[in-house]
């Protein structure tokens, strides 16, 4: 009985999240293809260098830590400082730019000559140029030892992958709901541009680079309102006038793109304050994660609760499975459709605000072809284009699959045009898999009816 339950659970997991094994295989593939000699930085580099120092240098040896002012180097200096202090070493520490370091070494390092300079690969060449200073003329220079490690699995690269897919992944939540209802929304790419232009334009009107935090909030709310209304209008055209979703959203795609060009007069708007970039480029210090990635995770948590644990989620699946049966069951189909299209518009608007924050500007050229990437993430994630079937977490997996393919091909120096071919084949394979799955389901249903 337990074996049957495990098989059923595994089969269901594979059916719902069929691209998860593909995601794992892609990570393994690009990890193997990008193995190279890596320079350790930050606390990891400090730990490796301390191990080397403890083997080669006596605790009474005079050590000088020298690093630049970048965050990884400051982290390296702080970690090595703590390790040397605990081990009882005699050492000094200097952090600064080249001019500052030269002056500090010349002025502050006195007494017995330095036997060992501990630094990073980035700063080593600079330290070598300081050999003319008597205090370190004969010092041994040590940097963290290099080790074989995949470039793909570096923490900075993984954070970069997550940060790059945030806009696509957030908009894909709304697109998942739309496609589950057997619809489509082609306007999301233009809504990204319109949202970015509106937030920059309103912020500029309220003070430009000197706009207050309240002004930024008003600009963001204006962008969300415009995009939400356009999404709701698309839903109204589809529900009230029976216009096919493809045509209705294609028309709104053109309208949104045109309005973005009219507002911006075809030029980027740069009137945004420096603090506005916090949303798109900021990092949460405790988790060391980009703010945009944390917001993406929160959006997916809320979307999962709505789709998997709420009545509204069941209504969305019911409308996609059979809208007429859902209507006869008492579900207000039109309201459900209005909700999903308005939500898709709002999420596209939020994606545009993040993009404006990342690029510190709003331009009508933002979001070009993004609707294709968003739809690709949803389809690759296992949502059926026929409607009634799909998982929010599957969409997140789909977004990561696309992001990892692009990142991995960049790391392996595959040209952009080839990347488009590969991505197109991935989308085609996902749709083909969906069709084969639907055919298999249809055959099983027919077989069960015959028996």
51-65, 165-179, 303-317, range with the lowest pLDDT: 51-65
Domain with residues 42-145, CATH architecture: 3-Layer(aba) Sandwich (3.40)
CATH 2.60.40 fits 155-440, yes or no: no
Q: Both tokens of residue 195? A: 């949202």
Query: Above 90 in pLDDT, residue 249?
Result: yes
Would you state the pLDDT for residue 266?
Answer: 94
- CA angle 386/389/393 to nearest 5° reads 130
> Which of residues 254 and 419 earns the better pLDDT score?
254
Would you state the pLDDT for residue 195?
Answer: 98
> Which are the contacts of 302, defined by CB distance < 8 A and separation ≥ 6?
none
Strands, sheet with 90-95, edge to edge from the N-terminal-most edge strand: 90-95, 62-67, 116-118, 140-142
CA 150, distance to chain mean position in Å, is: 20
* Confidence category of residue 133, pLDDT binned at 50, 70, 90: confident
Query: Above 60 in pLDDT, residue 17?
Result: yes
280-294, 339-353, 436-450, range with the lowest pLDDT: 436-450
Total-model pTM: 0.87
Q: Check: CB of residue 356 under 8 Å from CB of residue 256.
A: no
Q: What percent of the chain has pLDDT over 90?
A: 65
- The whole-number average pLDDT for the span 121-131 is 88
- CA angle 317/162/366 to nearest 5° reads 80
Query: Above 90 in pLDDT, residue 286?
Result: no
- The whole-number average pLDDT for the span 428-433 is 81
Q: Check: CB of residue 164 under 8 Å from CB of residue 280.
A: no
* Confidence category of residue 446, pLDDT binned at 50, 70, 90: low
- The whole-number average pLDDT for the span 61-89 is 89
Would you state the pLDDT for residue 107?
Answer: 79
- The whole-number average pLDDT for the span 162-182 is 97
* Confidence category of residue 449, pLDDT binned at 50, 70, 90: low
* Confidence category of residue 162, pLDDT binned at 50, 70, 90: very high
Q: Where are the domains of the chain?
A: 42-145, 155-440
Q: What are the CA-CA distances from residue 326 to residues 3, 164, 191, 249, 317 (Å)?
A: 36, 38, 30, 24, 9
Q: Both tokens of residue 300? A: 């997916």
Report how far residue 323's alpha carbon sits from residue 388's, in angstroms, rounded to the nearest whole number. 10
Q: What are the CA-CA distances from residue 101 to residues 5, 66, 67, 82, 136 (Å)?
A: 66, 8, 9, 21, 12
Q: Both tokens of residue 216? A: 């930024």
- Our CA dihedral for 223, 186, 385, 237, rounded to 10 degrees, sits at 80
Q: pLDDT tens across 292-339, in order?
A: 999 999 999 999 999 999 999 999 999 999 999 999 999 999 999 999
3-state secondary structure of 67: strand
Output the average pLDDT for the chain.
Answer: 90
Would you state the pLDDT for residue 131?
Answer: 86
Report how far residue 345's alpha carbon sits from residue 233's, in angstroms, rounded to the nearest whole number. 10
């Amino acid at each position: 009985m337990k074996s049957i339950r495990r098989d059923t659970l595994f089969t269901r997991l594979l059916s719902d999240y069929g691209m998860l094994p593909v995601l794992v295989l892609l990570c393994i593939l690009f990890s193997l293809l990008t193995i190279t000699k890596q320079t350790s930085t930050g606390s990891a580099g400090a730990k490796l260098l301390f191990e080397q120092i403890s083997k080669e240098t006596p605790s009474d040896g005079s050590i000088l830590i020298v690093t630049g002012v970048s965050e990884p180097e400051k982290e390296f200096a702080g970690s090595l400082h703590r390790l040397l202090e605990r081990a009882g070493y005699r050492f000094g520490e200097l952090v600064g730019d080249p001019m500052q370091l030269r002056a500090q070494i010349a002025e502050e390092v006195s007494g017995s000559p330095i036997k060992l300079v501990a630094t990073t690969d980035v700063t080593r060449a600079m330290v070598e140029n300081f050999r003319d200073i008597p205090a370190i003329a004969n010092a041994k220079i040590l940097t963290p030892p290099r080790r074989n490690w995949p470039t793909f699995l570096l923490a900075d690269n993984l954070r970069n992958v997550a940060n790059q897919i945030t806009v696509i992944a957030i908009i894909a939540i709304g697109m998942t709901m739309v496609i589950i209802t057997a619809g489509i929304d082609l306007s999301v790419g233009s809504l990204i541009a319109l949202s970015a232009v509106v937030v920059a334009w309103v912020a500029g009107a309220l003070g430009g680079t000197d706009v207050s935090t309240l002004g930024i909030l008003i600009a963001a709310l204006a962008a969300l309102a415009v995009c939400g209304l356009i999404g709701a209008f698309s839903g109204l055209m589809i529900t009230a006038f029976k216009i096919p979703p493809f045509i209705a959203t294609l028309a709104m795609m053109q309208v949104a793109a045109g309005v973005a060009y009219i507002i911006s007069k075809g030029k980027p708007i740069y009137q945004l304050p420096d603090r506005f970039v916090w949303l798109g480029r900021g990092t949460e210090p405790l988790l060391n994660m980009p703010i945009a990635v944390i917001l993406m995770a929160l959006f997916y948590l809320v979307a999962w609760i709505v789709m998997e644990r709420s009545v509204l989620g069941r209504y969305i699946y019911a409308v996609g499975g059979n809208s007429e049966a859902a209507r006869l069951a008492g579900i207000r189909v039109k309201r459900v459709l209005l909700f999903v299209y308005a939500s898709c518009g709002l999420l596209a608007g939020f994606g545009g605000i993040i993009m404006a924050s990342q690029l510190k500007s709003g331009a009508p050229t933002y979001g070009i072809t993004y609707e294709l990437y968003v739809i690709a993430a949803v389809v690759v994630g296992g949502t059926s284009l026929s409607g009634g079937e799909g998982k929010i977490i599957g969409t997140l997996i789909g977004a990561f699959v696309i992001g990892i393919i692009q990142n991995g091909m960049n790391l392996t120096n595959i040209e952009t045009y080839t990347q488009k071919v590969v991505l197109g084949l991935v989308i085609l394979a996902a749709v083909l898999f969906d069709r084969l799955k639907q055919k298999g389901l249809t055959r099983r249903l027919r077989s069960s009816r015959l028996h």
